[in-house]
């Protein structure tokens, strides 16, 4: 008798079902491969869309590209590399949030990762074991720094009991207050160099939080190291800046070859990363050995090594992990805070009517006898609206750090290939006229509404500017520090000073250019303004606040 006839009906049914399922899978895969790619500009043989990749203001240009062909999902073929641009909140939410398992990786950045050697920066790491270890250390380090900064010892379980409302980012508030008070004093004594003072505020805050080191001015070597490294990183990461990112085979040409100047730059820039990552870290270790270290991410994390019972990682490996995570923390936070508050200063210079409304709110809610503090944030909705509008009007990062697909995907009838580079267009999302009418106008009033209790408050129906801090599993873990520092800077500056347009030698108003410098971050070009205290009372408050540090 045939072996098939000897099978029972159950086995036959299982085999038949398996055959049907396998056939369906094959058919679906073939059908999926036949799905169209998302729409995009016309591409040419061999080079594809290389000429369409913007080397400046990518957010603006990708937005215009999508509007021209009426799509919020763009596809570009850059010499065989698949590029997908997401121009809407809906697309980024559907893919980077809801399907984050497939969209949490990073592509390999040829210039930054391979040639410049910044391959251990967890911001640019592929999603995997290494990235998770760095992220976990960042979160643990925040809590441990909080414990070290308290007047007496707490265990992790008792921390949530005795401080139920303490968010790990609140541990930074003494550092934030110090940086803020120094900023106010510097603006009072030397308003012309406000840009330097804002840079010092942001840099000194992150150095203190990360390394526990005090920074007195911008000539500080740790500040200098970081500024130089960050400047080249922002330049190198800007999409389209270096052709080698689109044509990776160019990395093999020798330095002496015509057009290979990018390789010489990469060799020099690699030294800047190690200088930034090593010198401040080593200084914290020396302070720990001398017993003079201040609570910080690095000191708390290094102390934890002595109690680490995990034999799977050596002390040297753990130190390297801490060193790399600290460098990522510093580089990510400094420019975000600096650029955000610099844009706020430009907005107040250009649109003084909103500054006046915020000052009226502060005078009414707080009065003239003290400066605004963290706890005032919910009571100052107009100041909150100015912060949200600043981040929306000119987002710090007009395009987010790019994502990468693990496997092929289907979305809205389009095929998104495996190993696609996915660019979230923050600029387009925050200038969506269906959510933000008249989106290119600076208008804090759009965020405000009358709440149920009859008070003015933030409109819950308007999507906030979280998109500027990333998406899904790659969202910025330090965003709360950035927001709280920016709010404190906005509220105290509006309370204590008048920010006005500059005057020429004849006393005539100089209109600010409102130009921005395009890089990975969207930063105002130098502009003039006048900064003067609102009253002698505020001058005294600023001086008294400095005396209390």
C-alpha to C-alpha distance for 413 and 36, rounded to whole angstroms: 7
Using H for helix, E for strand and C for coil, what is the string for 119-182? CCCCCCCCCCHHHHHHHHHHHHHHHHHHHHHCCCCCCHHHHHHHCCCCCHHHHHHHHHHHHHHH
Structure tokens at 230: 């960050």
Burial of 354 (0-12, 13-18, 19+ CB in 10 A): buried
User: Would you call 54 helix, strand, or coil by DSSP?
Assistant: coil
Residue 481's H or E segment, with its range, is helix 479-496
User: Would you call 94 helix, strand, or coil by DSSP?
Assistant: helix
Residue 387's H or E segment, with its range, is helix 381-393
In which order are the strands placed within the sheet that holds 81-86?
73-78, 81-86, 421-424, 403-404
DSSP per-residue codes, 74-88 = EEEEETTEEEEEE-S
C-alpha to C-alpha distance for 303 and 160, rounded to whole angstroms: 21
Using H for helix, E for strand and C for coil, what is the string for 417-459? CCCCEEEECHHHHCCCCCCCCCCCCCCHHHHEEECCCCCEEEC
Burial of 20 (0-12, 13-18, 19+ CB in 10 A): exposed
DSSP per-residue codes, 312-374 = TS-HHHHHHHHHHHHHHHHHHHHHHHHHHHHHHHHHHHH-HHHHHHHHHHHHHHT-SSS---G
Q: Are the CB atoms for 427 and 60 separated by under 8 Å?
A: yes
The DSSP call for residue 529 is E
User: Is 383 known as a binding-site position?
Assistant: no
Query: In terms of Cα–Cα distance, which of 379, 83, 74 is closest to 239?
Result: 83
* Buried residues in 391-417 as b, exposed as e (16+ CB within 10 A): bbbbbbbbbbbbbbbeebbebeebbbb
Largest CA distance in the chain: 110
Query: In terms of Cα–Cα distance, which of 150, 167, 163, 137 is closest to 297?
Result: 137
Structure tokens at 77: 């073929």
For residue 73, what are the β-bridge partners?
86
Map tokens 């729409």 to a residue. Answer: 39
- Residue positions counted in the chain: 549
| Numbered residues of the known binding site for heme | 476
| Numbered residues of the known binding site | 476
């Amino acid at each position: 008798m045939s072996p098939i006839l000897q099978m029972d009906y159950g086995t036959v049914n299982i085999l038949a079902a398996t055959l049907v399922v396998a056939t369906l899978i094959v058919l679906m895969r073939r059908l999926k491969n036949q799905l169209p790619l998302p729409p995009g500009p016309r591409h040419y043989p061999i080079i594809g869309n290389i000429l369409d990749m913007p080397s400046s203001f990518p957010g603006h240009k990708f937005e215009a590209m999508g509007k021209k062909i009426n799509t919020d999902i763009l596809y570009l073929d850059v010499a065989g590399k698949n590029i997908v641009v997401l121009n809407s909140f809906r697309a980024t939410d559907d893919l980077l949030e809801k399907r984050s398992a497939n969209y949490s990786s990073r592509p390999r950045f040829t210039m930054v990762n391979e040639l410049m050697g910044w391959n251990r920066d967890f911001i640019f790491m592929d999603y995997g074991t290494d990235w998770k270890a760095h992220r976990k250390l960042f979160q643990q380090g925040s809590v441990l720094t909080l414990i070290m900064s308290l007047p007496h010892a707490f265990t992790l379980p008792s921390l949530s009991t005795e401080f139920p409302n303490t968010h790990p980012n609140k541990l930074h508030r003494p550092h934030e207050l110090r940086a803020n008070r120094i900023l106010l004093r510097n603006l009072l004594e030397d308003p012309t160099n406000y840009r330097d003072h804002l840079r010092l505020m942001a840099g000194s805050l992150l150095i203190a939080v990360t390394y526990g080191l005090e920074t007195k001015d911008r000539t500080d070597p740790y500040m200098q190291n970081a500024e130089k490294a960050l400047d080249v990183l922002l330049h190198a990461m800007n999409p389209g800046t270096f052709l080698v990112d689109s044509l990776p085979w160019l990395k093999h040409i020798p330095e002496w070859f015509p057009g290979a100047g990018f390789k010489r730059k990469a060799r020099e820039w690699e030294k800047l990363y190690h200088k930034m990552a090593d010198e401040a870290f080593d200084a914290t270790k020396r302070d720990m050995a001398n017993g003079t270290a201040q609570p910080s991410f690095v000191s708390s994390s290094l102390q934890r090594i002595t109690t680490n019972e995990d034999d799977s990682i050596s002390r040297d490996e753990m130190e390297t992990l801490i060193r790399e995570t600290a460098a990522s923390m510093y580089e990510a936070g400094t420019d975000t805070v600096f650029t955000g508050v610099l844009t706020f200063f430009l907005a107040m210079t250009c649109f003084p009517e909103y500054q006046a409304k915020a000052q009226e709110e502060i005078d009414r809610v707080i009065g003239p006898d003290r400066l605004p503090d963290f706890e005032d944030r919910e009571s100052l909705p107009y100041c909150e609206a100015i912060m949200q509008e600043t981040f929306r009007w000119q987002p710090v990062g007009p395009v987010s750090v790019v994502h990468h697909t693990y496997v092929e995907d289907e979305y809205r009838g389009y095929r998104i290939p495996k190993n696609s580079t996915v660019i979230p267009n923050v600029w387009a999302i925050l200038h969506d006229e269906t959510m933000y009418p008249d989106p290119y106008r600076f208008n804090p009033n759009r965020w405000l509404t009358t709440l149920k209790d009859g008070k003015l408050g933030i409109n819950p129906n308007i999507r906030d500017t979280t998109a500027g801090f990333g998406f899904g599993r790659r969202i910025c873990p330090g965003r709360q520090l950035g927001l709280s520092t920016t709010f404190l800077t906005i509220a105290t500056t509006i309370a204590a000073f008048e920010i006005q347009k500059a005057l020429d030698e004849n006393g005539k108003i100089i209109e600010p250019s409102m130009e921005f410098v395009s890089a990975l971050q969207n930063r105002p070009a130098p502009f003039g303004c006048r900064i003067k205290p609102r009253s002698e009372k505020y001058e005294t408050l600023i001086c008294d606040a400095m005396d209390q540090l």
